[in-house]
Amino acid sequence: MAIGYRLLGKLFPSTQSPTPITPNPQRENPEFPIPQLLIRIRSQYTHKLLMLCRLFTRLLILVVVFVVYYSSSLPAQAANKIDSYIARYLHVTEPIALEMDEQGNMRLFSPQELSVGKQLFENNCINCHVGGATLPDPQVSLSLLKLQEANPPRDRINALVTFMRQPMTYDGSQETYWCRQLPPSLLSQQEIESLAAFVLTAAQKSPGWGTESF
């Protein structure tokens, strides 16, 4: 304790106590005589400690404000950002229409949504599906041809979403535990559709996507 006080005194040598030091009547009780000097020193250090506390609180408030500001603005920035891969290799710079189902229903996907999809792919799939290949099972790549020939075909958004919610073997006969399952608790409908849109667009447009040249 005493060392701490001494240290504080060295840190803030010029700080003056703003509060006048009034003798504490209790302390002056003749039953407990405490020298005035001790009381003085004590209240000076309490004051310095208080100042430190205030400084710390201000710092803490600053940090909290900073964190809140960034955590709220980062997703917004990410949502507006168009990944350079999307523009350069998939040639998507404005919304594109993708087939949702075999009935020919279409939905527009913005380049921002495809960028979100690419990010999700990088976070969840790339370990096994780098460049659209399937490392654990190269026969079942994510190339457009492979997606079309699967049973049922997986070359439309809804079919891809159904597959990702519950991955099945290539012939559709049973569940597969090789691929990553994405329950709604992990990815929302909108997110999983963005991911499907990225996979489908990459399969349609990206040169070398899913080829077995690895």
Piece of the chain touching ligand HEC by CB under 6 A; list 19-27, 38-46, 65-73, 171-179 = 171-179
Q: Which residue has the tokens 């026969």?
A: 139
Q: How far is the CB of 73 from ligand HEC (least distance, A)?
A: 27
CA distances to 121, 135, 193, 209 from 175, rounded to whole Å, are: 21, 19, 21, 25
* Cα–Cα dist 141/135, whole Å: 8
User: Is residue 164 a contact point for ligand HEC (CB under 6 A)?
Assistant: yes
Nearer to ligand HEC, 45 or 109 (CB): 109
CB of residue 174 to ligand HEC, shortest distance in Å = 9
Contact between 176 and ligand HEC (CB under 6 A)?
A: yes
Question: Contacting ligand HEC (CB under 6 A), which of 154, 159, 161, 201?
Answer: 154
Interaxial angle between packed helices 189-205 and 157-165, expressed in degrees from 0 to 180 and rounded to the nearest 10: 120
Closer by beta carbon to ligand HEC, 8 or else 160: 160
Mark 112-151 with x for binding to ligand HEC (rule: CB under 6 A) and - for no binding.
Answer: ------------xx-xxx----x-xx--xxx---xx--x-
Please count the residues of this chain forming the interface with ligand HEC, following the rule CB under 6 A.
Answer: 27
β-sheet bridge partners, residue 175: 168
Residues that bind ligand HEC (CB under 6 A): 124-125, 127-129, 134, 136-137, 140-142, 146-147, 150, 154, 160, 163-164, 169-170, 176, 178-180, 182, 195, 199
